[in-house]
Amino acid sequence: MCGIVGYVGSMRVVPIILEGLKKLEYRGYDSSGIVYLYEGKLCKHRCEGKLARLEEKIDGQRDVLSHIGLGHTRWATHGAPTERNAHPHCDCTGELVVVHNGIIENYQSLREELQQKGHLFSSDTDTEVLAHLIEESLNGDLAKAVTKALKKVHGSFALGVMWAGQPDTLVAVRNQSPLVLGIQEGGGCLLASDIPALLPFTRQMVFLDDEELAVLRPGGWEVMKLHSGRRVKKETRTIDWNAGMAEKAGYKHFMLKEIFEQPQSVLNTIRGRLDAESGLVRFSELGLGRQEAEAIRRIVLVACGTSWHAALVGKYWLEKWAGIPVEVDIASEFRYRRLLLDESSLVILISQSGETADTLAGLRLAKKMGARVIAICNVVGSTMTREAHGTIYTHAGPEIGVASTKAFTSQLAALLLLTLSLGQLKETVAPEASRELGAALVELPALLETELPRLQEEIEPLAREYAASRDFLYLGRGSMYPIALEGALKLKEISYIHAEGYAAGELKHGPIALIDREMPVLALVPRDHVYEKVVSNVEEVRARLGRLIVVGSKGDRALRKITDQAIEMPVVHQELNPILYAIPLQLLAYQIAVLRGCDVDQPRNLAKSVTVE
Ligand code: AGP
């Protein structure tokens, strides 16, 4: 997803923009660009590929005496990922530039209209129409011109605009794409698509809402409503993440660091919410009392990708312990089907970033239909958290690796807490069961801490053996089925090995035809209520000479008889298995991807925050 950084103030702008852009690399991009004002002229540099190439290109200009500029990392939507399509984009005079994240839906008709008026285009992007439209409206005041131009635009945008005619002013606009302002004590002002880009320079941030325009100048900033121009009073929030929290802390990749952070992130999710003795859960932030809990007739969980896998696990828990029927939807499907929601429905949106376009659209639809809407989210101040009726923050800390790991297990911990809380309010969970489950959850972070290094080591030979595979099957039943899906997703997204997750019982309905001596099959076989069933499925694979890896309970001799490639997991409360068993699968995917020389933190074609549908 595109990333925007802007700065105006008394510091030299080039190093600020470059550092900010580096912090946004996790979003995924295929080209980058920078523009700054020097001696009254805009100096623009763009290039295809990684940021290092842009840095090389402008080597020697880091110290240039410029105090205002914009930078951009582009994730192509309209037009190939080439230098000519990289942002910033200019108007015809070359004195006005725009950087943009989002999609301009009516760009084709606007482009034709502008071309008829004589505007010359130099890219294939939807963004460039914005520069020419603003040029058309420009009459000495950049903010007014932006406001006027955007009246004609349909779509989603976060924008940074700069004009040589107003050399101390940046204009920022947010509409359905994230944008945050950073305010420095010395009067410098920044704008960026996400918090990590601002953290090296300030902790004081202002979160723009949709249809808000900000004017940034050295020493001051103001926010107004995009269309009416009415001033909006915004709060400055202190973000307590430090820049170091977003660094790799000695690990080779962010993904590995984040896998090893899971004891802490799970602990952070449960901390202050779960009473260790009684297992009672308090979610004061949700404002759900007994009456409200009893009024819930149906829960709908909506998410994408890994977050959708968390939702699938949530269904098992919520139905079993809270006794409420649960539907799980992929957000891009949910938003385009006929929804039967009302005030008795609780809709839970699960999203690490809180910005995923489809999930956000689902939130808005559900809200419109009168449902109670809750977000489970990791990013404070993100759009979903601001629009939902309530938010359960996962508190996993910033997740930089594109492949989600710690955010996933924190989502699971949050869903389990929510399950307990609803079950306790409705009295569908017996106090003894609450105590048992609560105690097991409290002990989980310490257990993860000891298991992680052991698993890392044990998985190494397996990763070596399977790194050259072409395909992979993952099998699981019950709450292990979504974990099989997640294991397959992790492997395919970072190692580019084709991998599929299946409900083990589905094997004989088709996928079994794929099994031969070449096909690796990883089966999740904890000692739970469907253990015997999964063992039968594993035997079916063995009979067809598939290459079996089993992940099962420590000391399970039956599994050892089936294959010598067994990863042994400690025996915990059955409901915690999804969290625990996700970890060896994350490590296996990670190690295989590293052995294959893949760009683990920024896999090809993927973006961390998918803010377009
Ligand atoms: C996870 O590894 C993926 N890269 C992706 O599926 C992700 O989970 C999905 O895009 C949803 O993102 P969200 O949680 O930020 O909404």
User: How far is ligand 1, taken at its centre, from the CA of residue 171, in Å?
Assistant: 30
Looking at residues 347-372, what average pLDDT do you find?
96
* pLDDT computed for residue 103 by the predictor: 81
* pLDDT computed for residue 246 by the predictor: 58
Looking at residues 84-93, what average pLDDT do you find?
96
Choose the weakest-confidence range: 370-374, 440-444, 488-492, 511-515. Answer: 511-515
Q: What angle do CA 31, 32, 36 make, to 5 degrees?
A: 160
DSSP string computed for 346-393: EEEEEESSS--HHHHHHHHHHHHTT-EEEEEESSTT-HHHHHSSEEEE
Q: Is the dihedral of CA 135, 140, 142, 144 positive or negative?
A: negative
* pLDDT computed for residue 285 by the predictor: 77
Q: How confident is the model at residue 415 (pLDDT cuts 50, 70, 90)?
A: very high
Predicted TM-score (pTM) of this structure: 0.78
The percentage of the chain sitting over the pLDDT mark of 90, rounded to a whole number, equals 81
* pLDDT computed for residue 284 by the predictor: 77
What distance in Å separates the CA atoms of residue 62 and residue 13, rounded to the nearest whole number?
8
Looking at residues 444-451, what average pLDDT do you find?
96
User: How far is ligand 1, taken at its centre, from the CA of residue 600, in Å?
Assistant: 15
* pLDDT computed for residue 245 by the predictor: 61
Which residues form ligand 1's pocket by a CB distance below 6 Å? 304-307, 351-353, 356, 359, 402-404, 493, 606, 609-610
User: Measuring from atom 16 of ligand 1, which residue has the nearest CA?
Assistant: 351
pLDDT tens-digit profile of 271-288?
A: 889 998 899 998 877 888
- Tokens (6 digits) for 514: 């794929």
Looking at ligand 1, which atom is closest to the CA of residue 304? 11
Looking at ligand 1, which atom is closest to the CA of residue 603? 4
User: Measuring from atom 5 of ligand 1, which residue has the nearest CA?
Assistant: 305
Looking at ligand 1, which atom is closest to the CA of residue 402? 4
Q: How confident is the model at residue 308 (pLDDT cuts 50, 70, 90)?
A: very high
Q: Which of 26, 304, 402, when mutated, tests ligand 1's pocket best, judged by the most ligand atoms within 8 Å of its CB?
A: 304
User: How far is ligand 1, taken at its centre, from the CA of residue 304, in Å?
Assistant: 6
User: Could you identify the residue written with the tokens 């131009």?
Assistant: 149
User: Measuring from atom 10 of ligand 1, which residue has the nearest CA?
Assistant: 305
Looking at ligand 1, which atom is closest to the CA of residue 411? 14
Looking at residues 173-186, what average pLDDT do you find?
92
Alpha-carbon distances of 422 from 288, 294, 320, 346, 400, rounded to whole Å: 9, 9, 11, 12, 32
pLDDT tens-digit profile of 100-141?
A: 998 888 899 999 999 999 999 999 999 999 999 999 999 999
* pLDDT computed for residue 178 by the predictor: 87
Looking at residues 159-168, what average pLDDT do you find?
97
User: Measuring from atom 6 of ligand 1, which residue has the nearest CA?
Assistant: 305
User: How far is ligand 1, taken at its centre, from the CA of residue 488, in Å?
Assistant: 14
What distance in Å separates the CA atoms of residue 357 and residue 254, rounded to the nearest whole number?
24
User: How far is ligand 1, taken at its centre, from the CA of residue 230, in Å?
Assistant: 36
Q: How confident is the model at residue 326 (pLDDT cuts 50, 70, 90)?
A: very high
Rg (CA), the chain: 26
User: Measuring from atom 9 of ligand 1, which residue has the nearest CA?
Assistant: 305
Looking at residues 438-451, what average pLDDT do you find?
96
Q: Which residues contact 513 (CB under 8 A, 6 or more apart)?
A: none
pLDDT at 363 over 80: yes
pLDDT tens-digit profile of 188-200?
A: 999 999 888 999 9
Looking at ligand 1, which atom is closest to the CA of residue 490? 2
Looking at ligand 1, which atom is closest to the CA of residue 404? 2
User: Could you identify the residue written with the tokens 């308090």?
Assistant: 282
* pLDDT computed for residue 243 by the predictor: 58
Looking at residues 509-532, what average pLDDT do you find?
93
pLDDT at 28 over 80: no
- Tokens (6 digits) for 342: 């009302």
Contact 578, 440 (CB under 8 A): no
**377 included as an active-site residue:** no
With residue 110 as reference, give the H or E element that holds it: helix 107-116
pLDDT tens-digit profile of 222-272?
A: 999 998 999 999 999 988 776 556 567 678 899 999 999 999 899 989 988
Which SS3 state, helix, strand or coil, does residue 31 take?
A: strand
Chain mean pLDDT for the chain: 93
Q: Which of 301, 308, 312, 352, when mutated, tests ligand 1's pocket best, judged by the most ligand atoms within 8 Å of its CB?
A: 352
* pLDDT computed for residue 251 by the predictor: 86
> 418, 412, 446, 406: which is closest to 572 by C-alpha?
446
Q: Where does residue 540 rank: exposed (0-12), middle (13-18), buried (19+ CB within 10 A)?
A: middle
pLDDT at 146 over 70: yes
User: How far is ligand 1, taken at its centre, from the CA of residue 485, in Å?
Assistant: 13
Q: Which of 2, 90, 377, 598 is catalytic?
A: 2
User: Measuring from atom 7 of ligand 1, which residue has the nearest CA?
Assistant: 305
Return the higher-pLDDT residue of 24 and 69.
69
Contact 476, 523 (CB under 8 A): yes
Q: Which of 23, 257, 490, 608 is catalytic?
A: 608
What distance in Å separates the CA atoms of residue 209 and residue 332, rounded to the nearest whole number?
23
User: How far is ligand 1, taken at its centre, from the CA of residue 14, in Å?
Assistant: 32
Q: Which of 376, 377, 404, when mutated, tests ligand 1's pocket best, judged by the most ligand atoms within 8 Å of its CB?
A: 404
Return the higher-pLDDT residue of 293 and 610.
293
**90 included as an active-site residue:** no
Contacts 24+ apart (CB under 8 A), 381-385: 381/180, 381/195, 381/205, 381/207, 381/237, 382/178, 382/351, 382/353, 382/354, 382/355, 383/178, 383/210, 383/354, 383/355, 384/349, 384/351, 384/354, 384/355, 384/359, 384/360, 385/354
* pLDDT computed for residue 163 by the predictor: 98
Q: Are strands 390-393 and 372-377 parallel, antiparallel or unpaired?
A: parallel
What distance in Å separates the CA atoms of residue 516 and residue 54, rounded to the nearest whole number?
48
Alpha-carbon distances of 205 from 194, 196, 443, 549, rounded to whole Å: 10, 11, 36, 48
Contact 377, 354 (CB under 8 A): yes
Which SS3 state, helix, strand or coil, does residue 295 take?
A: helix
Q: How confident is the model at residue 76 (pLDDT cuts 50, 70, 90)?
A: confident
User: How far is ligand 1, taken at its centre, from the CA of residue 544, in Å?
Assistant: 35
Looking at ligand 1, which atom is closest to the CA of residue 306? 8
pLDDT at 392 over 90: yes
The percentage of the chain sitting over the pLDDT mark of 70, rounded to a whole number, equals 98
* pLDDT computed for residue 27 by the predictor: 73
pLDDT at 66 over 90: yes
